[in-house]
C-alpha cells in the first residue's frame, strides 16, 4: 500500500493506487533510453517490482523533431507484483512536440503530461510534428493535467558556466528530467550519481554537467511542487535474497558465463550483429574471464558453422540472432540434427517478415523454429516468459542440448531482450548441475550412433581422444557411423532422431495451470513473452468473478506431457499469441485440440484490456 498521501494536489495515479506507469518520450537523440534505463535502475533499487518497454525507431538518428524519430521508454512499477509495462501511461514526459503527438494516445484520460515547454516555443518544432497551433495553448490537452516545464531552458541555466558547448548542454536535458522524476516518485539519486561517476570516468566535465542537471531537476521538483509531496511507492514484498535489475539480453549473457563456469566447457558464442540480438554479443564479449569466447563471424551461416564446430570439438557452441538470421542458419540446423551435436541457437524475434519492424517485438518465428528445415529435422524449442527468465531458459536449453545431443532453439523476443525487471540472483546451490557426458574410453565405444538407452543420445567424443577417431557428416549413417543409403536404415534413423526429441518430455514437468483450476469456463494458453499480459488479464478477470484459467508453455517442442488431457477439461480454449495463430495451429495439429485464437501483430506487447475484453466476451457474466 502507498503511504498515506497527504493532500496531493495532483496525484498522478488514482486515489489508492499503488502502481504507476510512466512514459518518457523524446527525440532519438535526447537520451531517452538512457534516462529510462537509469530510472528503472533506481526504481529497482528502491525495491519496487517493475516492467519496462523501451521503444525506439529503427533509424539511428531519424531527422530530429520528426514523428518517426520519436523514442520512448515506458515503465510500470508498484508495491505489488508487476507483470507488464502497463497498457496506458499515468504520466507522460514529452521532450518535444513530436513526442507529445506520438504518445498522447497512450496516456490515460486525466493523466499527467509534463512537457518540455522550451521545445514548444519554436514554430518549426510544432510544424515538424504536424501541429498547426500550439497544443499547450489551443485547449487540445484539456482532458489531461498538463505541467509545462522549461526543461531545455532550465538545463541551460543550470549549466551556464559549465564551459560545455550548446550541443553538449542540450544533451544533458535527459538528466534534468530524470532528476525531476526522481523527486516526483521519491527515487534516490545515489544510484544514478554512482552510475554517472562510472560512465564518465574519463570525462570529468561531462560527469559534472550531468550531475548538475540531475540535481537541478530534482530541486526544481521540490520548489515547483508539481505535486504536494513526492508520491512514494513503497517496496514490493518479495522473496528474501539478493536482487538486481536485469534485461533479457543481459540475462542471456549471464547464462552463458554461468554455463561455462558450471560445466567447465569452453563456450563459443559465434554471432553476426542483428537487432535486437546484438547486445548479447556485446555483453558476452566482456565475459572472457568466465570461459566464454565470442566470435563475430562474416555472416549468420559462418556463425552457426563456427558454433557447431566448437561443439564437435568438445566445447559448447552458441549462436544468437533474430528471424532473418535464423532463416540463414536453417541448413546448418539440419546438419546439427543429422550429426547429433549439442548447439544452442537463440532467436530474439522481431517483427517480420524480412526487415519488417526490426526494433519491435513479435512471436512469429515459432513455426520456422519448429519446422523451418529441409527433411525430417525435429529439435527442441523453448521460450522464456520474462526478461529474467531468459537466464533460466538458456540454461535449460543447454542442459537439454548436452543431455540429448541435439541443437535447441530458444525463442526470446525484442520485448524481453530490451525490457527489464527485478531478478532474484540465484545462489550457487540454486544453479542447475550441467554435466557434459563425453566418451573418452575406447572400451566403452560401440558405434557413433549407438544410443544411450535412457536419453537415446549418441556418444559425444571430442577430437584429440586417442583410439576414437571417427567421421561424422551430413550423409545418412548407420548405427556404426558408416555412410548408408539403405532405405530401411534411413527410416530407422529418422524415427530414432524423432524419438530422441520426443523422449525429452519424460524429463520435463507435466503441463500445469498458472491460474485457475480445471473445470473453469475457459483456458487461456500462451507461450513466451506474453506471460505477463496473459497472467494480468486472467487474474483481473478472475477477480471480476469470471472462471478463467491460464497455462503458459515454456517448452514448445516437445510439449509437456498431459497437455491435451488438461486442456480437454475446459469447455473452451483460447490461444493468445503475437502472430497469426502459430501455436494454435500446432495444438490443433499435434494434439487435436479445438482452440480459438486471440492474436495481435502490432509490434508491441499485448494490451491487457483487449485480452480481458476477449476473455469477458467468451466467458460472459462477471460481477464488475
Partner 1 sequence: MGRGPTRKEFATDQDVRWCPGCGDYAILASVQTAFAKLGVPREKFVVVSGIGCSSRFPYYMNTYGFHTLHGRAPGVATGIKLTRPDLSVWVVTGDGDALAIGAGHLLHALRRNVGIRILLFNNRIYGLTKGQASPTSETGKTTPSTPGGVADRPFRPVALALAAGATFVARSVDRFGAHLQEMIERAARHEGAALIEILQNCNIFNDGAFAEVTGRAGREENVLYLEHGRPLRFGPDGSRGLALDGAGGLVEVDPGQAPGRVLVHDERAPDSAVPDLLARLDAPVPLGVFRDVSAPALEQVLRERREAARRARDGGLAELLAGPNAWTVP
* Cβ partners under 8 Å of residue 142, min gap 6: none
**Neighbour tally for 324: CB within 10 Å:** 18
CB 489, min distance to partner 1, A: 16
Of 316 and 618, nearer to partner 1 (C-beta) is: 316
For residue 18, list its beta bridge partners: none
Q: Smallest gap, in angstroms, from Cβ of residue 65 to partner 1?
A: 34
Residues with Cβ within 8 Å of 176's Cβ and at least 6 positions away in sequence, in order, are 151, 154, 155, 158, 213, 214, 216, 217, 220
Residue with cell 488438461: 566
The single residue listed with the C-alpha cell 539519486 is 189
Q: Which strands, in side-by-side order, build the sheet including 381-382?
A: 292-296, 267-271, 316-321, 343-349, 407-413, 381-382, 555-557
Q: Which is nearer to partner 1, 81 or 266 (CB)?
A: 266
**Choice between 107 and 335, CB closer to partner 1:** 335
Please report how close the Cβ of residue 302 comes to partner 1 at its closest, in angstroms: 4
Write the DSSP symbol of residue 525. E
In sequence order, the β-bridge partners of residue 19 are 78
Q: How far is the CB of 370 from partner 1 (least distance, A)?
A: 21
- C-alpha dist (Å) from residue 118 to 46, 121, 191: 31, 6, 28
Report in angstroms how near the CB of residue 608 gets to partner 1 at its nearest.
Answer: 27
> Cis peptide before 276, with omega less than 30 degrees from 0?
yes
d(CA 207, CA 205): 5
* Closer residue to partner 1 in complex, CB, 182/597: 182
> Least distance (Å) from partner 1 to the CB of residue 251?
10
Nearer to partner 1 by Cβ, of 166 and 242: the residue is 242
- Comparison of 79 and 116: residue with beta carbon closer to partner 1: 79
CA nearest neighbour of 622 among 523, 521, 481: 521
Work out how close the CB of 425 gets to partner 1 at its nearest, in angstroms, rounded to a whole number.
5
Regarding beta strands 267-271 and 292-296, do their DSSP bridges make them parallel or antiparallel, or are they unpaired? Answer: parallel
Q: Which residues contact 411 (CB under 8 A, 6 or more apart)?
A: 347, 349, 363, 365, 366, 369, 381, 382, 383, 528, 556
Distance CA(608)–CA(537), nearest Å, equals: 6
**With respect to partner 1, which residue has the nearer C-beta, 107 or 246?**
246
Residues 6+ apart with CB under 8 A from 238: 47, 49, 422, 424
Residue tagged 532467436 (cell numbers): 347
Q: Specify the residue, 297 or 591, whose C-beta has the smaller distance to partner 1.
A: 297
Measured from the CB of residue 297, what is the shortest distance to partner 1 in angstroms? 7
Q: Do residues 304 and 333 lie in contact, with contact meaning Cβ atoms separated by under 8 Å?
A: yes
Smallest gap from residue 56 Cβ to partner 1 (A): 23
Which one, 284 or 418, has the nearer CB to partner 1? 284
Amino acid at each position: 500500500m502507498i503511504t498515506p498521501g497527504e493532500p496531493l494536489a495532483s496525484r498522478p495515479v488514482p486515489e489508492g493506487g499503488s502502481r504507476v506507469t510512466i512514459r518518457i518520450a523524446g527525440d532519438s537523440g535526447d537520451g531517452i533510453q538512457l534516462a529510462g534505463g537509469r530510472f528503472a535502475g533506481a526504481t529497482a533499487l528502491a525495491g519496487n517490482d517493475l516492467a519496462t518497454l523501451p521503444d525506439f525507431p529503427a533509424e539511428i538518428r531519424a531527422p530530429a523533431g520528426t514523428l518517426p524519430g520519436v523514442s520512448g521508454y515506458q515503465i510500470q512499477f508498484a508495491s505489488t507484483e508487476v507483470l507488464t509495462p502497463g497498457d496506458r501511461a499515468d504520466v507522460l514526459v514529452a521532450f518535444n512536440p513530436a513526442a507529445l503527438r506520438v504518445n498522447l494516445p497512450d496516456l490515460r484520460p486525466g493523466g499527467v503530461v509534463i512537457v518540455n515547454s522550451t521545445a514548444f516555443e519554436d514554430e518549426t518544432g510544432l510544424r515538424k510534428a504536424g501541429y498547426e497551433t500550439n497544443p499547450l495553448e489551443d485547449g487540445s490537452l484539456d482532458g489531461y493535467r498538463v505541467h509545462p516545464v522549461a526543461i531545455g531552458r532550465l538545463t541551460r541555466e543550470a549549466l551556464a558556466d559549465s564551459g560545455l558547448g550548446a550541443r553538449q548542454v542540450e544533451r544533458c536535458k535527459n538528466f534534468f528530467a530524470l532528476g525531476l522524476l526522481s523527486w516526483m516518485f521519491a527515487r534516490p539519486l545515489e544510484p544514478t550519481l554512482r552510475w554517472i561517476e562510472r560512465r564518465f570516468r574519463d570525462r570529468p566535465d561531462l560527469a559534472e554537467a550531468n550531475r548538475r542537471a540531475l540535481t537541478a531537476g530534482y530541486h526544481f521538483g521540490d520548489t515547483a511542487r508539481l505535486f504536494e509531496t513526492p508520491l512514494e511507492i513503497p517496496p514490493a514484498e518479495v522473496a528474501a535474497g539478493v536482487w538486481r535489475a536485469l534485461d533479457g539480453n543481459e540475462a542471456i549473457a549471464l547464462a552463458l558465463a554461468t554455463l561455462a563456469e558450471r560445466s567447465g566447457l569452453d563456450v563459443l558464442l559465434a554471432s553476426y550483429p542483428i537487432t535486437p540480438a546484438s547486445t548479447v554479443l556485446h555483453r558476452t564479449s566482456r565475459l572472457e574471464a568466465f570461459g566464454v569466447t565470442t566470435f563475430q563471424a562474416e555472416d549468420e551461416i559462418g556463425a552457426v558453422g563456427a558454433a557447431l564446430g566448437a561443439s564437435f570439438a568438445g566445447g559448447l557452441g552458441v549462436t544468437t540472432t533474430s528471424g532473418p538470421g535464423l532463416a540463414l542458419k536453417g541448413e546448418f540446423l539440419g546438419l546439427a540434427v543429422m550429426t547429433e551435436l549439442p548447439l544452442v541457437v537463440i532467436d530474439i524475434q522481431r517483427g517480420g517478415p524480412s526487415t519488417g519492424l526490426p526494433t519491435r517485438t513479435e512471436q512469429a518465428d515459432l513455426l520456422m523454429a519448429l519446422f523451418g528445415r529441409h527433411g525430417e529435422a525435429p529439435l527442441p524449442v523453448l521460450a522464456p516468459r520474462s526478461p529474467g527468465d531468459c537466464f533460466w531458459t538458456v540454461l535449460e536449453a543447454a542442459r537439454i542440448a548436452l543431455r540429448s545431443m541435439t541443437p535447441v532453439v530458444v525463442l526470446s523476443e525484442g520485448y524481453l531482450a530490451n525490457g527489464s525487471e527485478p531478478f532474484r540472483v540465484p545462489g550457487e546451490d540454486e544453479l542447475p548441475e550441467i554435466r557434459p557426458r563425453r566418451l573418452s574410453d575406447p572400451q566403452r565405444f560401440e558405434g557413433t550412433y549407438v544410443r544411450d538407452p535412457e536419453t537415446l543420445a549418441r556418444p559425444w567424443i571430442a577430437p584429440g581422444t586417442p583410439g576414437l577417431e571417427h567421421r561424422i557428416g551430413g550423409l545418412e549413417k548407420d548405427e556404426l557411423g558408416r555412410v548408408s543409403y539403405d532405405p530401411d536404415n534411413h527410416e530407422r534413423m529418422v524415427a530414432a532422431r524423432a524419438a530422441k526429441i520426443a523422449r525429452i518430455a519424460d524429463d520435463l514437468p507435466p503441463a500445469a495451470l498458472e491460474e485457475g483450476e480445471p473445470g473453469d469456463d475457459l483456458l487461456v494458453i500462451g507461450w513466451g513473452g506474453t506471460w505477463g499480459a496473459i497472467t494480468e488479464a486472467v487474474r483481473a478477470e478472475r477477480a471480476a468473478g469470471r472462471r478463467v484459467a491460464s497455462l503458459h508453455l515454456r517448452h514448445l517442442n516437445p510439449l509437456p506431457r498431459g497437455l491435451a488431457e488438461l486442456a480437454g477439461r475446459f469447455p473452451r480454449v483460447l490461444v493468445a499469441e503475437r502472430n497469426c495463430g502459430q501455436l494454435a495451429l500446432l495444438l490443433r495439429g499435434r494434439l487435436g485440440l479445438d482452440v480459438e485464437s486471440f492474436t495481435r501483430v502490432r509490434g508491441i506487447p499485448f494490451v491487457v484490456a483487449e485480452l480481458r475484453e476477449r476473455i469477458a466476451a467468451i466467458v460472459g457474466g462477471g460481477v464488475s
